[in-house]
Amino acid sequence: MTSEKAEEAPAAASRGSRPYLVLVALFIGLVGGTFAQAGGDGIREPLIQVATYVGGLWLDALKMTVIPLIVALLVTGIAKGAEAARAGRIAGRSILWFVIVCTSSAIFGAVMMALLVRWFPLPQGAGEALQAGLAAIDQSTSSPPIPSVADFFRGIIPSNVIAAASNGDVLPLVVFTVFFALAVARIAPQRRKTVVEFFDGIADALLIVIGWVLWIAPLGVFALGFALGASAGGAAFAGLAHYIVLVSVIGVLVTLWGYPIAIVGGSVPAGLFTKSMIAPQSVAISTRSSLASLPAMLGAAKVQGVREQVADVTLPMAVALFRATGPAMNVAVAFYVASWLGYQPSLGAAIAATGVASVISYGAVSLPGEVSFISSIAPIAMALGVPIAPLALLVAVEMVPDIFRTLGNVTLDSAVTAVVNKNLGSVSTEN
């Protein structure tokens, strides 16, 4: 299929040694920048200017794909999901639970990260140094004006969707795209297929572009890391370690959330669910791939007593459409970046970011971790009103939180499948 070929470029940039090269480039850049501090402004400032210029070009290359990719992936993801929901009772019930869990996940991630950065803050000196260092990378670090509640709700519906896209107003753009995608799902089948294939083609082309951009990620991340290290010094290492721990904690908590869902909602005995999930969770940790974990999840579902016709429909749909940890961890990253920069998002911005995190997860399906990191979190950060430049650095350490992303996704996939199996009861499960 065309979409499968289109994913080869970003997937190639995200597998094998490439993520490790990006991580090494970040480390070398931060160390080099830290040592450059000792050379005085005569040496440090010219090097920062060069590094910022090179890193800025790479960052702009990432930014240029965000808006069109949001639209293309949302249209295809929602339209296909709506079509799948009409295919039968099992599929429809599965989609309903996917929406419920993703929405709850986004709210949980926003609230929990706000609490974690308050309970376990960076030392004040490290935070101030990071703010100065990030300002050297991206000049758009000034806090945006806080809109009134009336202005916030008035801005949800775009009067000009083209202007919203041009200005980076993500929430009204997402609202329009969701309505458009739902409308596409209701038009005649042949026309619906034509529209979805059109946006599929756009997404395929953009994924190839992102693959090219990620291929030179070591250079871009090295340059941005050098600029940050030269400005923030050792605080950069403290900030990254702090980030990895807090975001990973969110992933662990979402994973644990799957157990009561399966035990209470799916009536699977605690010991049975825990034991049966060892195999798929082991595959998830070792591969960072929900798709690779699917055979083990099907085996676990059989052990849990899930009917074969339910597992054969819900689990493949979950792998394709459902990212339980995505909304929580993605919005958590955006809120963490806000704390890095000393931002205090308004209630309206927080609601917007949480809503975008929930909806945008439907478009991040079947993408490599580093690709979905940029395509999913950038619009959330934009809705929250924070720059996306830090994401270009955080993508270098994404391989660590991504383990917990996949672990949680696999656990929730199986848990929701058990719930769907129970809810259907003894009613015919013909799809």
Question: Over the stretch 376-394, which tens digit does the pLDDT of each residue have?
Answer: 888 888 888 888 888 888 8
Indicate which CATH number applies to the domain containing 98: 1.10.3860
Instruction: Answer whether residue 310 shows pLDDT above 90.
Output: no
Number of domains in the chain: 1
The answer as to whether 429 is a domain residue is no
**What pLDDT is attached to residue 203?**
84
**What pLDDT is attached to residue 153?**
58
Integer Rg of the chain from CA? 22
- State which residues form the domain around 114: 2-423
Alpha-carbon distance of 216 to 211, in angstroms, equals 9
With contact defined as beta carbons under 8 Å apart, do 363 and 73 qualify?
Answer: yes
Which stretch of 128-137, 168-177, 273-282 has the lowest confidence by average pLDDT? 128-137
Alpha-carbon distance of 70 to 88, in angstroms, equals 28
> Phi-psi region for residue 122, left (φ > 0), alpha (ψ -120 to 50) or beta?
beta
- Residue 136: both structure tokens together: 């050297």
CA 357 to chain centre: 8
Comparison of pLDDT for 172 and 403, the residue scoring more: 403
**What pLDDT is attached to residue 415?**
93
Alpha-carbon distance of 132 to 150, in angstroms, equals 34
For all residues of the chain together, what is the average pLDDT?
Answer: 80
pLDDT in tens, 285-302: 888 888 888 899 999 999
**What pLDDT is attached to residue 31?**
87
**What pLDDT is attached to residue 251?**
93
Instruction: Answer whether residue 142 shows pLDDT above 50.
Output: no
Instruction: Answer whether residue 405 shows pLDDT above 60.
Output: yes
pLDDT, average across residues 179-183: 86
- Residue 273: both structure tokens together: 């669910």
**What pLDDT is attached to residue 332?**
94
The answer as to whether 312 is a domain residue is yes
**What pLDDT is attached to residue 161?**
78
The answer as to whether 430 is a domain residue is no
Alpha-carbon distance of 273 to 137, in angstroms, equals 47
pLDDT, average across residues 412-431: 75
Alpha-carbon distance of 279 to 272, in angstroms, equals 13
- Residue 392: both structure tokens together: 């270009």
Among all chains, which residue has been given the structure tokens 């394709």? Answer: 320
Instruction: Answer whether residue 359 shows pLDDT above 70.
Output: yes
Comparison of pLDDT for 406 and 426, the residue scoring more: 406
The answer as to whether 321 is a domain residue is yes
pLDDT, average across residues 193-214: 86
With contact defined as beta carbons under 8 Å apart, do 304 and 272 qualify?
Answer: yes
pLDDT in tens, 41-78: 667 788 888 888 888 888 888 888 878 887 888 888 77
Instruction: Answer whether residue 269 shows pLDDT above 90.
Output: yes
- Which of 200, 164, 168, 206 minimizes the C-alpha distance to 69? 206
**What pLDDT is attached to residue 136?**
64
Comparison of pLDDT for 249 and 147, the residue scoring more: 249
With contact defined as beta carbons under 8 Å apart, do 75 and 177 qualify?
Answer: yes
The answer as to whether 113 is a domain residue is yes
Q: What percent of the chain has pLDDT over 90?
A: 20
The answer as to whether 428 is a domain residue is no
**What pLDDT is attached to residue 335?**
93
What is the DSSP-derived secondary structure letter of residue 361? G
**What pLDDT is attached to residue 192?**
86
Instruction: Answer whether residue 156 shows pLDDT above 90.
Output: no
Buried (b) or exposed (e) across 147-178, using 16+ Cβ within 10 A? beeeebeebbebeebeebbeeebbbbbbbbbb
With contact defined as beta carbons under 8 Å apart, do 328 and 258 qualify?
Answer: no
3-state secondary structure of 7: coil
- Residue 81: both structure tokens together: 């999901």
With contact defined as beta carbons under 8 Å apart, do 58 and 223 qualify?
Answer: yes
Does the pTM exceed 0.85?
A: no
Count the neighbouring beta carbons within 10 Å of the beta carbon of residue 252.
13
pLDDT, average across residues 156-168: 75
3-state secondary structure 32-90: HHHHHHHHCHHHHHHHHHHHHHHHHHHHHHHHCCHHHHHHHHHHHHHHHHHHHHCCCHH
pLDDT band (50, 70, 90) for residue 145? very low
pLDDT, average across residues 127-132: 72
What is the DSSP-derived secondary structure letter of residue 396? G
pLDDT, average across residues 194-217: 86
Comparison of pLDDT for 362 and 320, the residue scoring more: 320
User: Alpha-carbon dihedral of residues 236, 227, 141, 117, nearest 10 degrees?
Assistant: -10
Comparison of pLDDT for 126 and 273, the residue scoring more: 273
**What pLDDT is attached to residue 157?**
77
The answer as to whether 431 is a domain residue is no
pLDDT band (50, 70, 90) for residue 151? low
Alpha-carbon distance of 281 to 427, in angstroms, equals 31
**What pLDDT is attached to residue 428?**
47
The answer as to whether 40 is a domain residue is yes
Comparison of pLDDT for 247 and 181, the residue scoring more: 247
